[in-house]
Amino acid sequence: MFEGRGQSVLDAFVGRPPEELTFQEADAVCYAFISLGLNYQAVDFAQRRVEATNRDEDRLQLAWALKASSSFREAEALLEVICDPSLIGQTKALKAVLRADLGDCENAMRMALGVRRSVDNNLSLYVQLSVSNACRDIEALSEVILEILETKDIDSALLTAACYGALHTKDFELVRRALALIPRGNRSPEVLCVRLHAAMKDRKYGEADIAAGLLSECLEAGSFLVAFHLGYYHMRFLRYKRAEGFLRTALEKTNDRGPVLQLLAEVLMMRGKLREAASLAREATTLGQRSRRLRRTFVFSCTLSGRWRTAWRALQKW
């Protein structure tokens, strides 16, 4: 797991050649990039470090950076060439997380159980958190988040991940409890996303606007996380044109297309792009999305574009 203090770390080290840094310094720089949403810069930095050192510990660092930028298969391929026996536990831990990210939940859960004794507690909890989150096992996710929140001297990166994971449980008491442990000055994209949703849930729209503004500053990284949540934010406030732009960006940067397609279809329907809205809504259903809002989007889009029979068949089927 990476450690660091965001912008202050970059200010201290980023101007120096990667090969001149100690591993701990390079690790801090890599995490600092990721914590600020600069995932592609993290990959570039880690890649240059590997080219300069040719060490397995730096390859593992690069694999974490690739995972953060959603390059899951590239990260998995890189892990296959790591031979250092002292890194076996960490390598297996990341493999479990990547399997979950790629949708192989059965193997991911089995692998997550297998690494518990071979890595430290922080990394073990991170693996459990990531796998249960990616596989949408809400019960297991809630349990591991509670364990993290109750653990003393918990790793700051793990606490940030738990805070974001709490959002997926839709238990806003758990979300608020996690946020209470996060310093107000933490501006990582994950925490800002949670603050954005918590503010909207509590109808504190001024706070939501502030969080969205800070998130917009992270767009340089072009990450899925930032684009998706800003798309949702603008959709909630009926700014459909801006929402469409962010959601299309998010769609380009994720393998998990279903949730994005559902929101984008609704936005396109509201913008009058009815045939594309219906097409995306249908695609979302093939990817496992089954909400009433999605059904409504499909039926309304078909009805408003004159495809009455298609709309009627959909109503009968769903």
Q: Which pLDDT score, from 0 to 100, does residue 221 have?
A: 53
Residue 204 falls within a domain, yes or no?
A: no
Q: Which pLDDT score, from 0 to 100, does residue 3 have?
A: 40
Q: Which tokens is 136 given?
A: 């949408």
Residue 24 falls within a domain, yes or no?
A: yes
Residue 131 falls within a domain, yes or no?
A: no
Distances (CA, A) of 47 to 6, 26, 55, 60, 199: 20, 11, 11, 11, 38
Q: Which pLDDT score, from 0 to 100, does residue 18 have?
A: 80
- Give the integer Cα–Cα distance in Å for 213 and 141: 29
Residue 76 falls within a domain, yes or no?
A: yes
pLDDT in tens, the chain (318 residues): 334 356 677 766 767 888 888 888 888 888 888 877 677 888 999 999 999 999 999 999 999 999 988 789 999 999 999 999 999 999 999 999 999 989 899 999 999 988 888 888 889 999 999 999 989 899 999 999 999 999 887 888 888 889 989 998 989 999 999 999 988 888 888 889 999 999 999 999 999 999 999 988 877 655 788 899 999 999 999 999 999 999 999 898 776 788 899 999 999 999 999 999 999 999 998 887 878 888 899 999 999 999 988 888 877 776
Buried b (16+ CB within 10 A) or exposed e, 189-206: bbbbbbbbbbbbeeeeee
Residue 315 falls within a domain, yes or no?
A: no
Q: Which pLDDT score, from 0 to 100, does residue 260 have?
A: 93
Residue 286 falls within a domain, yes or no?
A: no
Residue 77 falls within a domain, yes or no?
A: yes
- Give the integer Cα–Cα distance in Å for 2 and 23: 11
Length of the chain: 318
Cβ atoms within 10 Å, residue 143: 13
16 lies in which domain range? 1-83
Total domains in the fold of the chain:
1
State the pTM of this model. Answer: 0.76
Q: Which pLDDT score, from 0 to 100, does residue 76 have?
A: 96
- Give the integer Cα–Cα distance in Å for 265 and 167: 22
Q: Which pLDDT score, from 0 to 100, does residue 160 have?
A: 86
Residue 304 falls within a domain, yes or no?
A: no
